[in-house]
Amino acid sequence: MQVLQLNRSQNYAVSFFKGAMLVLAGPGSGKTAVITSRVLSLIEDRGIPPENILVITFSKAAAEEMKQRFMKLGKNIVNDVNGGNGGNNVNGGNNVNGGDNVNGGNNGYNGVSFGTFHAIFFRIVREAYDYDISNIISEKDKNIFLTDAMKRAGVTVQNEREFREKLSAAISMLKSGENDSLWEKAARMLAIESDRLRAVYREYTSAMKNTGRIDFDDMMLLCLEVFEKRREILKYWQERFRFILIDEFQDINPLQYRLVKMLAYPENNIFAVGDDDQSIYGFRGASPKLMFEFEKDFKGCRRTVLDTNYRSGEEIVAGAARLISHNNERFRKRTISRKGPGAKLERMHFDSFEEEMDFICEELAVKCAEGRKLAGTAVLYRMNTQIRPLYNRLLTRNIPCRLREKTADIFEHWIAEDISAYLRIVEGSTSRADYLRIINKPVRYVGRDSFRNERMCLKDLFEANRDKRYVTERLEKLQNDLAFMSRLNVTAMLKYLFYGGGYGKYLKEYASSKNVDETELFAIYDELADSSKAFDKPQEWFEFIELHREKVKKEAAFETFRQTGNEPDGVELMTFHRSKGLELDTVYIIDASEGFTPQSRAETAEEIEEERRAFYVAATRARNELFICDANDRLGRTTRPSRFIAEMGLMV
């Protein structure tokens, strides 16, 4: 079969027939072409019936793209594989709909099956246990269940929404392969005691069981139960899917891997395509170690490397290779650029964070003025909190942009509420709620029993604590701080509050006690301070906040609208993780500083290696231009260049 022009390593992978093969496919190496060509080769050259072939992906979009690519390649021989009533499909993401191509019609399986892990395994569970879509919990109900479980387990947090998101990821990780090390990792991630986490987990899973609901991880646990207890069902699916191909194998978790091994037995015709250097979902239980286990688990396994990068210029490929070579837990491989030299790889170093943001805005504004499209240009960052200052600047300058991930309204963050309470008190507030909110931030040892009236002032607190010198000394400091702040503009107030008023010390101590990344908290404070620069009085800033909230609502409505049609031109704004799998002409990586990338919470060698892989993923999105930006100062705090800059050979 000669359908596509394949290079030597691609051809070797496509022509492989029976047994296990591990295909190490680096960025831009044509892995989709290899998978689709191999499927076609199995059918046309080896005579394998299409219904005996299963292609597993990690997202609905990837499944659909793979199917479409194969249909173009293989003379439209694929039919959706539907079962039952034909309308219940699982997308493997956060909801269930009809897009995953793992369906069955009344005529049985008539073609190659393309689908996500969740779609495949829900198909099996649905038939074994008579489940349907109504059993799968919605995100809204899941949040309710998680909140109730937290309350019953006695878990209280400052930011419930943020904690709930982390809790959901932690529970998913625990279900992927429960063991003591995962419990410890999840507890650290959530900054709660292991026993408290176990209590929340019990409450959540009990509520799910009592209401007959399942989540996406339960699908796979139930499938494991089916395979272990109903051997005739396992045998049926083993005979059905005699050839299994897995895309993005580096993202597999232990439970998924266990199920795949059971499904592939005894023929073990399993074709795993992935890149250990792009394994960045440790928080979901994925680990590049599973790729090393693959060769041990499947005796006689073949391995090949797709070593030609068709996406990026030579300079970008070489810089990324230098970076990732600092990881120890990886397959050693050499990658060459098919495009050759001519790409631009530059470190852009600035004195301040503001200069860094202004540089990017100006670059994009020039493109717009010249009539050049911004499609294919992206700004990438490690954490969601990093993009809002740039996003606001882009909106102000009418530079078209697309925020690929929903970011929470920063003015609803508890830090913003703390700051607002401080400023209201500076302005003369006598609200009991305002004083309660800030009185022990930093700690001043003022008890709740000191708040005896709905209207309060410092005089009342002095009176309630007149016999406690260690308290009144701190109240005197607060009194002096508030008096000094009253003479400043808003930005100066926030700077003084952070350094002179002790709030920065409070955030640092809070981060330490809760095992939270202090850099994220500081970044939020920085952004709030940055948003206040145009205002002299707190009231002016408060009015701006209200206008901002209205704008956020309108933007959300517009985003919903434009998703229904063709998206307008604009620069893409997204995290490293969200960019995975994309190809872009020009990439700007912002905040390439220690504490941001790698994050300050990354302490162990394993965690640093995952951070490096995330940076590698971001860097290898670029075809022609890659700008890595960092600054000496971030709103008054000195920052150091990310170690990854030097590892790419860009330090001067």
How far is 625 from 627, CA to CA, in rounded Å? 7
How far is 498 from 286, CA to CA, in rounded Å? 38
Helix (H, G, I), strand (E, B) or coil at 638: strand
The predicted pLDDT at position 388 comes to: 82
Question: Measuring CA to CA, which residue among 272, 264, 365 is closest to residue 35?
Answer: 272
Q: Report residues of the chain scoring pLDDT below 50.
A: 76-110, 557-565
Non-local CB neighbours of 456 within 8 Å, separated by 6+ positions: 430, 431, 432, 435
What letter would DSSP give residue 569? Answer: P
How far is 32 from 39, CA to CA, in rounded Å? 11
- Is the separation of the CB atoms in 59 and 25 below 8 Å? no
How far is 24 from 273, CA to CA, in rounded Å? 6
Non-local CB neighbours of 107 within 8 Å, separated by 6+ positions: none
- Is the separation of the CB atoms in 486 and 538 below 8 Å? no
How buried is 460 (Cβ within 10 angstroms: 0-12 exposed, 13-18 middle, 19+ buried)? middle
- Helix 139-152, helix 194-210: angle, nearest 10: 130
Question: Whats the size of the chain, residue-wise?
Answer: 652
How far is 550 from 565, CA to CA, in rounded Å? 24
Q: Which two tokens stand for residue 72?
A: 């173009």
The C-alpha angle with vertex 323 and arms to 319 and 329, in degrees rounded to 5, equals 145
The predicted pLDDT at position 562 comes to: 43
User: What are the CA-CA distances from residue 379 to residues 375, 551, 570 (Å)?
Assistant: 12, 22, 11
The C-alpha angle with vertex 519 and arms to 555 and 523, in degrees rounded to 5, equals 35
List pLDDT tens digits, range 216-260. Answer: 888 888 899 999 999 999 999 999 999 999 999 999 999 999 999
What letter would DSSP give residue 555? Answer: H
List pLDDT tens digits, range 279-294. Answer: 998 888 888 899 999 9
How far is 191 from 202, CA to CA, in rounded Å? 18
The predicted pLDDT at position 118 comes to: 87
- pTM here is 0.81
Helix (H, G, I), strand (E, B) or coil at 381: strand
- Is the separation of the CB atoms in 309 and 28 below 8 Å? yes
How far is 528 from 547, CA to CA, in rounded Å? 15
Q: What is the secondary structure of 395-455 as a DSSP string?
A: HHTT--EEE-S----GGGSHHHHHHHHHHHHHTT--BHHHHHHHTTSS-----GGG--SSB
Q: Strand order of the sheet with strand 21-25?
A: 113-116, 53-57, 243-246, 270-274, 21-25, 302-306
Non-local CB neighbours of 2 within 8 Å, separated by 6+ positions: none
Q: What is the secondary structure of 170-186 as a DSSP string?
A: HHHHHHHS--HHHHHHH
Q: Is the peptide bond before 400 cis (omega within 30 degrees of 0)?
A: no
List pLDDT tens digits, range 473-508. Answer: 999 999 999 999 999 999 999 999 999 999 999 999
Q: Which two tokens stand for residue 17?
A: 């027939």
Residue 349, beta-bridge partner list? 630
What letter would DSSP give residue 610? Answer: H
Q: Which two tokens stand for residue 551?
A: 């704008």
Q: Which two tokens stand for residue 556?
A: 């959300």
